[in-house]
Structure 1
Amino acid sequence: MNLLPENDLNKIWENFRLDGSTEALSLIYYEHFDFLYDFALKYTGDRSLIEDSIQNIFGYLLKRQKKLTPVSNLRYYLLQAFRRELFDQLKRQKKIHLSSEITENPELLCYNKIEDQMDSEERDRVIMLVKKSIAKLGPKQQEIINLRFNQDLDYNEIAKMLSISVDSCYQSVYRSIKFIKEDIEKALGDNQNLLLWVYIGLKKIKKN
Protein backbone atom coordinates (compact mmCIF):
# COMPACT_ATOMS: atom_id res chain seq x y z
CA MET A 1 0.00 0.00 0.00
CA ASN A 2 1.34 3.43 -0.94
CA LEU A 3 1.62 5.99 1.81
CA LEU A 4 -0.12 9.35 1.68
CA PRO A 5 1.97 12.46 0.90
CA GLU A 6 3.74 13.76 4.00
CA ASN A 7 1.61 16.93 4.18
CA ASP A 8 -1.58 14.87 4.30
CA LEU A 9 -0.15 12.56 6.95
CA ASN A 10 0.76 15.56 9.08
CA LYS A 11 -2.81 16.87 8.83
CA ILE A 12 -4.12 13.52 10.05
CA TRP A 13 -1.57 13.62 12.88
CA GLU A 14 -2.81 17.04 13.94
CA ASN A 15 -6.41 15.78 13.97
CA PHE A 16 -5.35 13.05 16.38
CA ARG A 17 -2.96 15.17 18.45
CA LEU A 18 -5.32 18.10 18.97
CA ASP A 19 -8.73 16.41 19.00
CA GLY A 20 -7.89 12.90 20.21
CA SER A 21 -9.60 11.45 17.13
CA THR A 22 -9.33 7.66 17.21
CA GLU A 23 -10.44 7.64 13.56
CA ALA A 24 -7.40 9.75 12.66
CA LEU A 25 -5.11 7.43 14.64
CA SER A 26 -6.70 4.45 12.92
CA LEU A 27 -5.92 5.95 9.50
CA ILE A 28 -2.32 6.57 10.58
CA TYR A 29 -2.14 2.93 11.70
CA TYR A 30 -3.71 1.67 8.47
CA GLU A 31 -1.38 3.75 6.29
CA HIS A 32 1.81 2.73 8.14
CA PHE A 33 1.29 -0.90 9.13
CA ASP A 34 2.93 -2.54 6.12
CA PHE A 35 5.63 0.17 6.02
CA LEU A 36 6.66 -0.65 9.60
CA TYR A 37 6.12 -4.38 9.13
CA ASP A 38 8.41 -4.52 6.08
CA PHE A 39 11.10 -2.64 8.01
CA ALA A 40 10.89 -5.15 10.87
CA LEU A 41 11.18 -8.15 8.53
CA LYS A 42 14.78 -7.11 7.85
CA TYR A 43 15.59 -8.00 11.46
CA THR A 44 13.19 -10.78 12.44
CA GLY A 45 10.65 -13.20 11.02
CA ASP A 46 8.74 -13.36 14.31
CA ARG A 47 5.33 -12.10 13.22
CA SER A 48 3.87 -11.97 16.71
CA LEU A 49 6.77 -9.89 17.99
CA ILE A 50 6.46 -7.47 15.06
CA GLU A 51 2.70 -7.08 15.56
CA ASP A 52 3.14 -6.58 19.30
CA SER A 53 5.79 -3.91 18.72
CA ILE A 54 3.52 -2.01 16.32
CA GLN A 55 0.60 -2.29 18.74
CA ASN A 56 2.81 -1.03 21.58
CA ILE A 57 3.76 2.09 19.62
CA PHE A 58 0.18 3.00 18.78
CA GLY A 59 -0.96 2.19 22.29
CA TYR A 60 1.69 4.59 23.56
CA LEU A 61 0.49 7.31 21.17
CA LEU A 62 -3.09 6.86 22.35
CA LYS A 63 -2.04 7.04 25.99
CA ARG A 64 0.19 10.11 25.47
CA GLN A 65 -2.07 11.94 22.99
CA LYS A 66 -2.45 15.11 25.07
CA LYS A 67 1.33 15.46 25.45
CA LEU A 68 2.27 14.87 21.81
CA THR A 69 3.85 17.67 19.78
CA PRO A 70 3.72 18.62 16.07
CA VAL A 71 6.07 16.66 13.81
CA SER A 72 7.64 17.70 10.52
CA ASN A 73 7.99 14.14 9.20
CA LEU A 74 5.47 11.65 10.60
CA ARG A 75 6.94 8.62 8.81
CA TYR A 76 10.36 9.28 10.30
CA TYR A 77 8.84 9.93 13.73
CA LEU A 78 6.96 6.61 13.71
CA LEU A 79 9.87 4.68 12.24
CA GLN A 80 12.25 6.04 14.87
CA ALA A 81 9.86 5.14 17.70
CA PHE A 82 9.10 1.73 16.20
CA ARG A 83 12.77 0.91 15.61
CA ARG A 84 13.53 1.63 19.27
CA GLU A 85 10.59 -0.50 20.47
CA LEU A 86 11.41 -3.35 18.08
CA PHE A 87 15.08 -3.49 19.05
CA ASP A 88 14.20 -3.41 22.74
CA GLN A 89 11.89 -6.38 22.21
CA LEU A 90 14.51 -8.25 20.19
CA LYS A 91 17.25 -7.61 22.72
CA ARG A 92 15.06 -8.88 25.55
CA GLN A 93 14.35 -12.05 23.61
CA LYS A 94 17.81 -12.23 22.01
CA LYS A 95 16.24 -12.55 18.57
CA ILE A 96 18.12 -9.98 16.50
CA HIS A 97 18.83 -11.50 13.09
CA LEU A 98 18.23 -10.76 9.43
CA SER A 99 15.24 -12.33 7.72
CA SER A 100 14.36 -12.73 4.06
CA GLU A 101 10.76 -13.68 4.84
CA ILE A 102 8.30 -12.39 2.28
CA THR A 103 4.65 -12.00 3.25
CA GLU A 104 1.57 -11.16 1.25
CA ASN A 105 -0.77 -8.43 2.49
CA PRO A 106 1.03 -7.89 5.84
CA GLU A 107 -1.39 -5.10 6.76
CA LEU A 108 -4.11 -7.73 7.09
CA LEU A 109 -2.33 -9.81 9.73
CA CYS A 110 -3.69 -7.78 12.62
CA TYR A 111 -7.18 -7.76 11.11
CA ASN A 112 -7.03 -11.52 10.61
CA LYS A 113 -5.95 -11.98 14.23
CA ILE A 114 -8.97 -10.01 15.46
CA GLU A 115 -11.26 -11.70 12.94
CA ASP A 116 -10.17 -15.13 14.15
CA GLN A 117 -11.42 -14.18 17.61
CA MET A 118 -14.90 -13.45 16.25
CA ASP A 119 -17.43 -16.24 15.84
CA SER A 120 -19.18 -16.52 12.47
CA GLU A 121 -22.43 -15.01 13.76
CA GLU A 122 -20.62 -11.97 15.18
CA ARG A 123 -18.58 -11.51 11.99
CA ASP A 124 -21.66 -11.77 9.77
CA ARG A 125 -23.47 -9.23 11.92
CA VAL A 126 -20.58 -6.76 11.68
CA ILE A 127 -20.46 -7.15 7.89
CA MET A 128 -24.23 -6.65 7.65
CA LEU A 129 -24.11 -3.51 9.82
CA VAL A 130 -21.18 -2.04 7.88
CA LYS A 131 -23.00 -2.73 4.61
CA LYS A 132 -26.13 -0.98 5.90
CA SER A 133 -24.05 1.99 7.06
CA ILE A 134 -22.34 2.30 3.68
CA ALA A 135 -25.77 2.38 2.03
CA LYS A 136 -26.52 5.53 4.04
CA LEU A 137 -23.51 7.35 2.57
CA GLY A 138 -23.73 9.54 -0.50
CA PRO A 139 -22.93 8.04 -3.94
CA LYS A 140 -19.49 9.70 -4.14
CA GLN A 141 -18.55 8.53 -0.63
CA GLN A 142 -19.65 5.00 -1.48
CA GLU A 143 -17.54 5.03 -4.63
CA ILE A 144 -14.45 6.26 -2.78
CA ILE A 145 -14.90 3.63 -0.06
CA ASN A 146 -15.19 0.93 -2.73
CA LEU A 147 -12.09 2.12 -4.59
CA ARG A 148 -10.06 2.39 -1.39
CA PHE A 149 -11.00 -0.80 0.44
CA ASN A 150 -12.25 -3.19 -2.25
CA GLN A 151 -10.12 -2.15 -5.21
CA ASP A 152 -7.07 -1.28 -3.05
CA LEU A 153 -6.35 1.98 -4.86
CA ASP A 154 -4.28 4.55 -3.00
CA TYR A 155 -5.48 8.10 -2.39
CA ASN A 156 -3.53 9.56 -5.29
CA GLU A 157 -5.01 7.03 -7.71
CA ILE A 158 -8.55 7.65 -6.46
CA ALA A 159 -8.12 11.42 -6.63
CA LYS A 160 -6.87 11.21 -10.21
CA MET A 161 -9.65 8.85 -11.27
CA LEU A 162 -12.41 11.01 -9.76
CA SER A 163 -10.78 14.37 -10.59
CA ILE A 164 -10.70 15.50 -6.96
CA SER A 165 -7.86 16.56 -4.67
CA VAL A 166 -6.01 14.03 -2.52
CA ASP A 167 -7.07 16.01 0.54
CA SER A 168 -10.73 15.76 -0.48
CA CYS A 169 -10.29 12.03 -0.96
CA TYR A 170 -8.77 11.62 2.50
CA GLN A 171 -11.47 13.76 4.11
CA SER A 172 -14.16 11.65 2.46
CA VAL A 173 -12.66 8.40 3.80
CA TYR A 174 -12.15 9.98 7.22
CA ARG A 175 -15.77 11.16 7.44
CA SER A 176 -17.11 7.86 6.08
CA ILE A 177 -15.21 5.74 8.60
CA LYS A 178 -16.28 8.05 11.42
CA PHE A 179 -19.92 7.78 10.31
CA ILE A 180 -19.79 3.98 9.93
CA LYS A 181 -18.15 3.55 13.34
CA GLU A 182 -20.72 5.75 15.07
CA ASP A 183 -23.57 4.09 13.19
CA ILE A 184 -22.68 0.49 14.08
CA GLU A 185 -21.77 1.52 17.62
CA LYS A 186 -25.49 2.14 18.16
CA ALA A 187 -26.10 -1.55 17.58
CA LEU A 188 -22.94 -3.10 19.03
CA GLY A 189 -22.08 -0.67 21.81
CA ASP A 190 -18.62 0.68 22.56
CA ASN A 191 -15.79 -1.80 21.96
CA GLN A 192 -12.02 -1.37 21.77
CA ASN A 193 -11.95 -3.38 18.53
CA LEU A 194 -14.76 -1.44 16.88
CA LEU A 195 -12.55 0.36 14.36
CA LEU A 196 -10.86 -2.89 13.35
CA TRP A 197 -14.29 -4.46 12.98
CA VAL A 198 -15.20 -1.60 10.62
CA TYR A 199 -12.12 -2.36 8.51
CA ILE A 200 -12.91 -6.08 8.52
CA GLY A 201 -16.41 -5.28 7.29
CA LEU A 202 -15.11 -2.90 4.63
CA LYS A 203 -12.66 -5.50 3.34
CA LYS A 204 -15.32 -8.22 3.22
CA ILE A 205 -17.96 -6.26 1.34
CA LYS A 206 -17.78 -6.34 -2.43
CA LYS A 207 -19.70 -3.79 -4.43
CA ASN A 208 -22.32 -5.42 -6.63
Structure 2
Amino acid sequence: MSEKEIIERELVERIKNDDESAFIEVYDLFWKRLFNFGFKKLGKKEIVEGIVQEVFIDFWSKRKKLEIHTSLSSYLFSAVTYRIINQYKSQSIRDKFSEMEKSKGERSSSSAEEKVLYNDLKSNIKKVVGGFPPQRQKVYKLRFNKGLSYIEIAQNLEISVSTVEKHLMRALKDIRISLRELSL
Protein backbone atom coordinates (compact mmCIF):
# COMPACT_ATOMS: atom_id res chain seq x y z
CA MET A 1 0.00 0.00 0.00
CA SER A 2 1.40 3.38 -1.01
CA GLU A 3 1.82 6.31 1.34
CA LYS A 4 -0.94 8.16 -0.53
CA GLU A 5 -3.38 5.27 0.05
CA ILE A 6 -2.48 5.12 3.76
CA ILE A 7 -3.10 8.87 4.13
CA GLU A 8 -6.42 8.60 2.27
CA ARG A 9 -7.57 5.69 4.48
CA GLU A 10 -6.63 7.63 7.61
CA LEU A 11 -8.61 10.63 6.34
CA VAL A 12 -11.65 8.42 5.65
CA GLU A 13 -11.46 6.93 9.15
CA ARG A 14 -11.23 10.38 10.69
CA ILE A 15 -14.23 11.52 8.63
CA LYS A 16 -16.21 8.46 9.78
CA ASN A 17 -15.48 9.68 13.31
CA ASP A 18 -16.99 13.11 12.54
CA ASP A 19 -13.65 14.88 12.13
CA GLU A 20 -14.60 17.99 10.16
CA SER A 21 -10.97 19.01 9.71
CA ALA A 22 -10.33 15.73 7.84
CA PHE A 23 -13.32 16.45 5.62
CA ILE A 24 -11.96 19.94 4.90
CA GLU A 25 -8.59 18.37 4.00
CA VAL A 26 -10.32 16.02 1.53
CA TYR A 27 -12.39 18.89 0.15
CA ASP A 28 -9.31 21.08 -0.34
CA LEU A 29 -7.34 18.20 -1.82
CA PHE A 30 -9.95 17.07 -4.35
CA TRP A 31 -12.39 19.90 -5.13
CA LYS A 32 -10.41 21.55 -7.92
CA ARG A 33 -9.37 18.20 -9.46
CA LEU A 34 -12.96 16.94 -9.42
CA PHE A 35 -14.22 20.19 -10.89
CA ASN A 36 -11.65 20.14 -13.71
CA PHE A 37 -12.45 16.48 -14.43
CA GLY A 38 -16.19 17.22 -14.55
CA PHE A 39 -15.74 20.36 -16.61
CA LYS A 40 -13.79 18.42 -19.27
CA LYS A 41 -16.68 15.96 -19.50
CA LEU A 42 -19.63 18.36 -19.27
CA GLY A 43 -18.31 21.81 -20.16
CA LYS A 44 -20.86 23.63 -17.99
CA LYS A 45 -19.26 25.44 -15.06
CA GLU A 46 -22.33 25.98 -12.85
CA ILE A 47 -23.64 22.45 -13.32
CA VAL A 48 -20.25 20.90 -12.60
CA GLU A 49 -19.85 23.06 -9.50
CA GLY A 50 -23.24 21.79 -8.32
CA ILE A 51 -22.30 18.18 -9.07
CA VAL A 52 -19.04 18.42 -7.14
CA GLN A 53 -20.84 20.10 -4.23
CA GLU A 54 -23.46 17.31 -4.21
CA VAL A 55 -20.72 14.66 -4.15
CA PHE A 56 -19.14 16.29 -1.10
CA ILE A 57 -22.49 16.79 0.62
CA ASP A 58 -23.34 13.10 0.11
CA PHE A 59 -19.84 12.09 1.17
CA TRP A 60 -20.20 13.95 4.46
CA SER A 61 -23.82 12.96 5.12
CA LYS A 62 -23.06 9.26 4.48
CA ARG A 63 -19.77 9.29 6.37
CA LYS A 64 -20.91 6.81 9.05
CA LYS A 65 -21.80 4.20 6.41
CA LEU A 66 -18.84 4.79 4.08
CA GLU A 67 -17.44 1.61 2.58
CA ILE A 68 -14.66 2.53 0.19
CA HIS A 69 -13.16 -0.54 -1.46
CA THR A 70 -10.88 1.42 -3.78
CA SER A 71 -8.88 4.54 -3.13
CA LEU A 72 -10.61 7.68 -1.91
CA SER A 73 -9.59 9.32 -5.16
CA SER A 74 -11.28 6.59 -7.23
CA TYR A 75 -14.38 6.78 -5.04
CA LEU A 76 -14.78 10.54 -5.49
CA PHE A 77 -14.04 10.55 -9.22
CA SER A 78 -16.51 7.68 -9.72
CA ALA A 79 -19.15 9.62 -7.79
CA VAL A 80 -18.65 12.64 -10.05
CA THR A 81 -18.74 10.42 -13.14
CA TYR A 82 -22.06 8.87 -12.10
CA ARG A 83 -23.58 12.25 -11.42
CA ILE A 84 -22.42 13.48 -14.83
CA ILE A 85 -24.05 10.44 -16.44
CA ASN A 86 -27.26 11.22 -14.53
CA GLN A 87 -26.98 14.83 -15.69
CA TYR A 88 -26.78 13.65 -19.30
CA LYS A 89 -29.82 11.43 -18.75
CA SER A 90 -31.76 14.24 -17.08
CA GLN A 91 -30.83 16.65 -19.85
CA SER A 92 -31.90 14.10 -22.44
CA ILE A 93 -35.27 13.73 -20.72
CA ARG A 94 -35.68 17.51 -20.49
CA ASP A 95 -34.77 17.85 -24.17
CA LYS A 96 -37.30 15.19 -25.14
CA PHE A 97 -39.95 16.87 -22.98
CA SER A 98 -39.12 20.25 -24.50
CA GLU A 99 -39.30 18.78 -28.00
CA MET A 100 -42.63 17.19 -27.12
CA GLU A 101 -43.94 20.54 -25.90
CA LYS A 102 -42.81 22.25 -29.11
CA SER A 103 -44.43 19.61 -31.25
CA LYS A 104 -47.65 20.02 -29.28
CA GLY A 105 -48.04 23.42 -30.86
CA GLU A 106 -47.53 21.87 -34.28
CA ARG A 107 -50.01 19.09 -33.68
CA SER A 108 -53.63 20.06 -33.46
CA SER A 109 -54.35 17.77 -30.53
CA SER A 110 -52.43 15.67 -28.06
CA SER A 111 -53.67 12.65 -26.24
CA ALA A 112 -55.72 13.08 -23.09
CA GLU A 113 -53.33 10.80 -21.24
CA GLU A 114 -50.33 13.05 -22.00
CA LYS A 115 -52.23 16.09 -20.79
CA VAL A 116 -53.23 14.35 -17.56
CA LEU A 117 -49.67 13.15 -16.91
CA TYR A 118 -48.23 16.58 -17.68
CA ASN A 119 -50.73 18.33 -15.42
CA ASP A 120 -50.10 15.80 -12.62
CA LEU A 121 -46.36 16.32 -12.91
CA LYS A 122 -46.74 20.10 -12.93
CA SER A 123 -49.13 19.98 -9.98
CA ASN A 124 -46.86 17.72 -7.92
CA ILE A 125 -43.81 19.87 -8.57
CA LYS A 126 -45.78 22.99 -7.65
CA LYS A 127 -46.91 21.33 -4.41
CA VAL A 128 -43.34 20.32 -3.47
CA VAL A 129 -42.01 23.80 -4.30
CA GLY A 130 -44.83 25.32 -2.21
CA GLY A 131 -43.52 23.38 0.79
CA PHE A 132 -39.99 24.76 0.49
CA PRO A 133 -38.71 27.29 3.02
CA PRO A 134 -39.24 30.84 1.68
CA GLN A 135 -35.62 31.49 0.64
CA ARG A 136 -35.30 28.14 -1.20
CA GLN A 137 -38.63 28.83 -2.90
CA LYS A 138 -37.37 32.23 -4.12
CA VAL A 139 -34.13 30.73 -5.40
CA TYR A 140 -35.98 27.92 -7.19
CA LYS A 141 -38.47 30.28 -8.84
CA LEU A 142 -35.78 32.71 -9.97
CA ARG A 143 -33.82 29.84 -11.53
CA PHE A 144 -36.60 27.83 -13.15
CA ASN A 145 -39.40 30.34 -13.69
CA LYS A 146 -37.30 33.39 -14.61
CA GLY A 147 -34.25 31.53 -15.95
CA LEU A 148 -31.69 33.53 -13.96
CA SER A 149 -28.13 32.23 -13.56
CA TYR A 150 -26.70 31.32 -10.15
CA ILE A 151 -24.76 34.58 -10.10
CA GLU A 152 -27.83 36.66 -11.00
CA ILE A 153 -29.85 34.95 -8.27
CA ALA A 154 -27.08 35.54 -5.73
CA GLN A 155 -26.94 39.23 -6.64
CA ASN A 156 -30.73 39.57 -6.68
CA LEU A 157 -31.16 38.00 -3.22
CA GLU A 158 -27.85 39.32 -1.82
CA ILE A 159 -26.58 35.85 -0.93
CA SER A 160 -23.50 33.89 -2.01
CA VAL A 161 -23.41 31.71 -5.11
CA SER A 162 -22.66 28.69 -2.92
CA THR A 163 -25.86 29.40 -0.94
CA VAL A 164 -27.77 29.50 -4.22
CA GLU A 165 -26.19 26.15 -5.16
CA LYS A 166 -27.16 24.63 -1.81
CA HIS A 167 -30.76 25.81 -2.12
CA LEU A 168 -31.06 24.47 -5.67
CA MET A 169 -29.40 21.15 -4.86
CA ARG A 170 -31.76 20.63 -1.94
CA ALA A 171 -34.78 21.75 -4.00
CA LEU A 172 -33.98 19.37 -6.85
CA LYS A 173 -33.29 16.54 -4.44
CA ASP A 174 -36.66 17.10 -2.73
CA ILE A 175 -38.44 17.15 -6.09
CA ARG A 176 -36.67 13.95 -7.22
CA ILE A 177 -37.61 12.19 -3.98
CA SER A 178 -41.21 13.35 -4.25
CA LEU A 179 -41.53 12.24 -7.88
CA ARG A 180 -39.84 8.92 -7.11
CA GLU A 181 -42.36 8.32 -4.31
CA LEU A 182 -45.22 9.08 -6.70
CA SER A 183 -43.99 6.53 -9.23
CA LEU A 184 -43.85 3.74 -6.62
Instruction: Give TM-score scaled by structure 2 length.
Output: 0.47
- Name the structure where helix makes up a greater proportion of residues: 2
With a CA cutoff of 8 Å and minimum separation of 6, indicate the structure with the bigger relative contact order. 1
